Every structure is written in structure tokens, then in C-alpha cells.
Amino acid sequence: KLSIISLIQNETPIMPWNELDAFWMPFTSNREFKSAPRMLTSAQGMHFTSDDGRKILDGTAGLWCVNAGHGREEIAKAAYDQLKELDFASAFQMGHPRPFQLAERLIQHTPEGLDHVFFTNSGSESVETALKIAVAYHRLNGNGSKTKFIGREKGYHGTNLGGISVGGLGSNRKDFNCLIPGVDHLQHTWIKGSEFTKGQPAKGAELADELESLIALHSADNIAAVIVEPVVGAGGVFIPPQGYLERLREITRQHDILLIFDEVITGFGRIGKPFAANRFQVTPDLLTTAKGLTNGAIPMGAVFAHNKIHQAFMNGPESSIELFHGYTYSGHPVASAVALATLDIYQHEGLFEQALALEHCWQEGLHSLSDLKAVKDIRNIGLIGAVELHPGDQPGQRGKQVFLDCYWQQNTLVRGIGDTLALSPPLIINEQQIHQLVEALRTAISKIPT
Ligand code: PLP
């Protein structure tokens, strides 16, 4: 076979496929992958190009991040221009303009009150940052015992220690016996009997009442925050039942517990509004994001803090550092420039509104697969969707079969999460491409023996 580098450079092979061993790939069955690599070598708009020259329809926006589509000139130019003007300067006790400009731009999109931005480099770092801010906030208010967290089953909050502790995916936790203490979990929100609901299932408020029991168990005096993804992504795509997020907000407010929305996936138009907080009209105290912030082009994350939280940190002596936390690359000039260019695209092309306008077509397209015997459930909101299959003899086997068939035979990239196919195309997708994506799934799923 030809090599990756030769394909990029159009030269004789200098990196044969059997030299793929050094890169320890994340969240990947490395040995299996390296025996039959799936290599993407370029991308434009809605499509990747694979090493064997096929155009692959991107049903995943890379990994829930390339919301404005691939290969955007404006983004490349912003990165290049910024690299020439100021490649790096620290934001520790120094400043440079881009992150200030970016923060001002970003808070135009957040719900009222979420007016302060702390920059990170990833979703995982955003989560750790939010958890630390929550504990420090209560301490500053004289409530130093409020240190526990409530997460949720099936929640995914990145892979750092705080994130896997509040996260609810056993596979991400089991090998690490060093989770942070004092964490409990709400039940996940999938309700039996709600299969094939379009949009939000009913009866969420009762489910959220479980938080009262956890508060009774641990005492509000000991709980710093509740963290949830408004729409669960990596855990299998679960849409919040009606009233659920609203009720969590009510209960947390009553007990002086902070509410953190992890919007790493739902940020930047994925469900037709800047954030899920806007869509559901529930304002958390802290909101974490990343991914779509830079269209996936450069790593960057952010935590939005409510004014009341920010203010609590601003009461000490002016010469003191208010928060002993930050990353070398917090507010990196190039990432900030890329994020600004990304926001321009979202705005000029009306992509958040476009996602909302396409929601119906997306929903009807996905639900048209409900006649397939192998399909157990279909879930959707905005331009996020999931087609869950009845499990076969081995859990996850059917999901993988469909993922592989889509990639090799249907020239379509979908994401297999166990037996669920998760879908999150770039927001520039059109109706014809939605149809194409659905047909690819239909063909691949139809091959499952029932
Ligand atoms: N939180 C959520 C909800 C996510 O979906 C993800 C990644 O998919 C993360 C956190 C972690 O983000 P990252 O992989 O950028 O660290």
C-alpha cells in the first residue's frame, strides 16, 4: 500500500503502513486499527478524502466539532496571520488583545449573566476548571464544606481525574482506582417506553426529583455542584426529558448548589441555538465548552462563569491573584484568532439558525429508519441524532459492523458508541446530504441478520 506521507506529499512512499506503531492512538483498538487503517488525508466542506481516494461524507463533524464544515479558508488565514503577528505571549500577568476580544464576542451569545470567560485548551480542561471554580467559590463564601459533586450515569466529562469521577461511564473509570472522593451520580435520563420519541421525551421533572434524595443523603452543606450535559453525547446521545433541566435548576438554586452545564458538544449551534442553555432557557452557574469554539481547527476550550461567581473572586485585595489556576496556553493568541474567525462564519452564514431550520428534515430522515427490525430506538434534537440497534451476541458488535460498513462501503463517517450510531454532521449539511446519510445507514443496517 502507499504511505500516508507519500500521499500528502505526492512522492515515493517514505512511511509504509507497517510503521504505524509509534503513535499510541487515543480511545482506539490500536492493534486492530493498524491491521486495516482508516486514514483520512484531507477534508473540504462536508467531506473527508480517504487515503484510497474516496470522498467520505462526514456525519460526525470530525468529533462533534467541525460545525462550519472542513477546510475553511477564513480560519486558515486567521491562524496564519496571527502566527505572523504574535505567535505566543503568556496571559499570566501579561496580556495580548485576542482573548479579550474573543471573550467580549462570546458573551454576546451566552444567556444573561454568564458574562465571564476562562480559557482552556480542551473540554476536559474546561471541566476540571469548572469543578475547581465551584469549590473555590463556596470556600470564598464561607462554605468550605461544600466540596462534593453530583454527576450522572452515562455522563461524559472528558478524561481527566475530575471528569471521569463526575462522569458516569464505567469503562472510562474502571482501570483508575484514584478517582476524586465525594462524588455521587444521578440516574441517566433514558426512560423505558420513550423509544422513538422525536425531540424531548415527556416526564423529566419527576426524574430530576431524585436530586432531592441525593441532597438528603449527602446534605446540601457538603455539595458544591451538579454537573450534567444538557444533551448527553458520548454516553450514547440522550435528549433531556421535558422539565428535567428546569427542575435541576430549581432544586440546585434552593440549596445553594451550583449547576454546571457541560456544553462541549452542544455549544455553538449544534441544537440550533448558541448553547443548549439558550435553547432550553435554563441558565447554569458555570458552562463548559470547547470543540465548535474553533471549529475543531485549533485546540481551545472555555468556561463561562456567572457574574455572581466571578464577583465572589473579585472581593479580595486588588494585588492578589484571584484564582490560582490556568494553563500556559489559556487564551492562546492563535486559538483566539481562529475562534474569532469561526464566530464570524457562524454569524455571517447564520449556521445556528440553519441548524434549527434543518431540525425537522433531520428528525424525519432519521426516524424513517424506524421500520428496520434491527433498530431499537432513535433519538434526535437539533442536528444531533442517534440510531440505537438491538444488541447482538456481543454488545457493541452490531454498532461496529454498521460503522465499518458505512466507512468502507457507503463512503460515510458515523460514530459507533456501543450499539448506538451517533450522528452530528457539520451544520452546513443540506437536505440532500441528510438524505444521503440516512440512506447510507439504511443500507448498512439492513445487512444485520434479524
Ligand atoms: N465534555 C463533553 C460533554 C464532551 O463531549 C467531551 C468530549 O467529547 C469532553 C468534555 C472532553 O473534551 P476534550 O476531548 O476536548 O477534552
- Ligand 1 pocket: which of 63, 64, 124, 159 to mutate (most atoms <8 Å of CB)? 124
The pLDDT of residue 179: 87
CB 421 within 8 A of CB 405: no
Half-sphere exposure of 333 (CA within 13 A, CB side): 16
* Contact 56 CB / ligand 1 (< 6 Å): no
Q: Is the pLDDT of residue 4 over 90?
A: no
Query: What is the CA(173)–ligand 1 centre distance, in A?
Result: 15
CB 260 within 8 A of CB 225: yes
- Ligand 1 pocket: which of 64, 154, 156 to mutate (most atoms <8 Å of CB)? 156
Grouping H, G, I as helix, E, B as strand and the rest as coil, residue 149 is strand
The closest alpha carbon to 230, from 286, 292, 311, 178, belongs to 286
Q: The C-alpha cell of 322 is what?
A: 484571584
Atom of ligand 1 nearest to the CA of 229: 3
CB 380 within 8 A of CB 198: yes
- What confidence tens digit (pLDDT) does each residue in 399-429 have? 999 999 999 999 999 999 999 999 999 999 9
The pLDDT of residue 7: 46
Tally DSSP H helices, then E strands, for the chain. Answer: 17, 15
Confidence band of 17 (pLDDT split at 50, 70, 90): low
Residue type at 377 in one-letter notation: D
Atom of ligand 1 nearest to the CA of 124: 16
* Contact 224 CB / ligand 1 (< 6 Å): no
Residue that the C-alpha cell 440505537 belongs to: 388
Homologous superfamily, domain 38-68+350-446: Aspartate Aminotransferase, domain 1 (3.90.1150.10)
Residue 286: phi, psi to the nearest 5? -135, 140
CB 307 within 8 A of CB 115: yes
Q: Is the pLDDT of residue 436 over 80?
A: yes
Q: Is the pLDDT of residue 294 over 80?
A: yes
- How far apart are the C-alpha atoms of 223 and 137, rounded to whole Å? 12
The closest alpha carbon to 190, from 225, 260, 241, belongs to 241
Query: What is the CA(137)–ligand 1 centre distance, in A?
Result: 23
Work out the angle at residue 258's Cα, subtended by the Cα atoms of residues 312 and 234, and round it to the nearest 5 degrees: 130
Residue 321: phi, psi to the nearest 5? -75, 125
Atom of ligand 1 nearest to the CA of 160: 16
The closest alpha carbon to 215, from 225, 205, 206, belongs to 225
Atom of ligand 1 nearest to the CA of 123: 12
38-68+350-446 against 75-348: fold identical: no
- What confidence tens digit (pLDDT) does each residue in 228-263 have? 999 999 999 999 999 999 999 999 999 999 999 999
Cα–Cα distances in angstroms (integers) from residue 368 to residues 155, 358, 449, 450, in the given order: 28, 16, 19, 18
* Contact 233 CB / ligand 1 (< 6 Å): yes
Q: Is the pLDDT of residue 6 over 50?
A: no
- How far apart are the C-alpha atoms of 366 and 368, rounded to whole Å? 5
First to last CA, the chain: 36
Q: Is the pLDDT of residue 13 over 60?
A: no
Query: What is the CA(264)–ligand 1 centre distance, in A?
Result: 6
Query: What is the CA(158)–ligand 1 centre distance, in A?
Result: 4
pLDDT over 90, % of the chain: 94
* Contact 154 CB / ligand 1 (< 6 Å): no
Q: Is the pLDDT of residue 14 over 70?
A: no
The pLDDT of residue 19: 82
Confidence band of 18 (pLDDT split at 50, 70, 90): low
Q: Mean of the per-residue pLDDT values for the chain? A: 95
Please give the helix or strand (H or E) that residue 207 lies within, else none. Answer: helix 204-208
pLDDT over 70, % of the chain: 96
Query: What is the CA(424)–ligand 1 centre distance, in A?
Result: 14
* Contact 234 CB / ligand 1 (< 6 Å): yes
Work out the angle at residue 153's Cα, subtended by the Cα atoms of residues 214 and 249, and round it to the nearest 5 degrees: 55
Instruction: List, in order, residues 6 or more apart from 141 with CB less than 8 Å away.
Output: 312
- How far apart are the C-alpha atoms of 450 and 447, rounded to whole Å? 9
CB 160 within 8 A of CB 176: no
Domain 75-348 has CATH 3.40.640.10: yes
* Contact 262 CB / ligand 1 (< 6 Å): yes
CB 271 within 8 A of CB 382: yes
Q: Is the pLDDT of residue 22 over 80?
A: yes
Grouping H, G, I as helix, E, B as strand and the rest as coil, residue 101 is helix
Atom of ligand 1 nearest to the CA of 163: 10
Work out the angle at residue 225's Cα, subtended by the Cα atoms of residues 224 and 227, and round it to the nearest 5 degrees: 155
- Domain chopping of the chain, boundaries: 38-68+350-446, 75-348
Work out the angle at residue 211's Cα, subtended by the Cα atoms of residues 210 and 213, and round it to the nearest 5 degrees: 70
pLDDT higher at 85 or 14 = 85
Query: What is the CA(127)–ligand 1 centre distance, in A?
Result: 8
Residue that the C-alpha cell 438554586 belongs to: 253
Confidence band of 97 (pLDDT split at 50, 70, 90): very high
Task: Tell me which residue has its CA closest to atom 12 in ligand 1.
Answer: 123
The pLDDT of residue 9: 46
